[in-house]
Amino acid sequence: MNLSELRENYTHGGISKADFSSNPFAQLAEWLQLARDQKIKDSNAMTVATANKEGLVTSRTLLLKGIVDEKLQFFTNYNSQKARDLAENPHASMTILWKELERQICIRGTVKKTSRGISEEYFKTRPYDSQIGAWVSESQSAGIANRASLESRKAEFEAQFPNKNEVPCPDFWGGYELTPTHIEFWQGREGRLHDRLCYLSSETGWTLDRLSP
């Protein structure tokens, strides 16, 4: 396979500062809504990158689950690699890519846990299988003997919590919220002369600048 030969030409058009909101979160909501309207599968999927205190970076795909008070929320296991990274280094980045729209959003900021109340309220909205799955994977990212051990734990917790309304939110599971300092909107253009419009946070508010492709 010759990967150097793989390329696409971007033809969907450009983006202009004049058409962008002064509020980056309003602009983010607009792009997210368009992706949803276009029925893009997992339109709220994002790559979240974290680093530990040594600077070793790890990335994975998660789902953006809320934009509240200018903070971006996601939920996960507090025993996971990402949680251990964030305990040592609260800085993280998010990238949302919609290949169908030839667009992506790159976000940087600092992360902290949500309140316990927010975690519990969100947990109640999850499907039953996902609630049970959270209990099964208590030590996320840790090695396991085999698939059968997971199925066995799943059966144990299904017996312990047979009904959706009876499944409590585990203490080791909950939410995080990222407060952005940098939100970049990217639109692919022909000839790789892409459009990049970047909001930067300051003490006086947000500024919007065009970046070189």
**Cα 25 to Cα 17: distance, rounded to the nearest angstrom:** 15
CATH number of the domain that 88 lies in?
2.30.110.10
Output the tens digit of pLDDT for each of the chain's 213 residues. 889 888 888 999 999 999 999 999 999 999 999 999 999 999 999 999 999 999 999 999 999 999 999 999 999 999 999 999 999 999 999 999 999 999 999 999 999 999 999 999 999 999 999 999 999 987 776 777 889 988 999 999 999 999 888 999 999 999 999 999 999 999 999 999 999 999 999 989 999 999 999
| 97 found inside a domain | yes
Which pLDDT score, from 0 to 100, does residue 210 have?
Answer: 98
**How many other C-beta atoms can be found within 10 angstroms of the C-beta atom of residue 208?**
17
Enclosing domain of residue 105: 17-125+173-211
Does residue 55 form part of some domain? yes
> 210 forms bridges with which residues in the sheet?
197
The answer to whether position 95 is within a domain reads yes
Which is the catalytic residue, given 36, 116, 192, 210?
A: 192
Instruction: Look at residues 22, 189, 178 and name the one whose alpha carbon lies nearest to residue 102.
Output: 189
CA 1 to chain centre: 31
Torsions phi, psi for 50 (to 5 deg): -130, 165
Please, what is the end-to-end C-alpha distance for the chain in angstroms?
28
pTM value is 0.92
Assigned domain for 103 exists: yes
Q: Residues 94-99: contacts with CB within 8 Å, 24+ apart?
A: 94/46, 94/47, 94/48, 94/49, 94/64, 94/178, 95/46, 95/47, 95/49, 96/32, 96/44, 96/45, 96/46, 96/47, 96/64, 97/47, 98/35, 98/40, 98/43
Q: How many domains does the chain have?
A: 1
Q: Report yes or no on 98 lying in a domain.
A: yes
Whether 100 is in a domain gets the answer yes
- Nearest of 71, 118, 125 to residue 94 by alpha carbon: 71
Is 84 a catalytic site residue? no
Query: Would you say residue 130 lies in a domain?
Result: no
Is 1 a domain residue? no
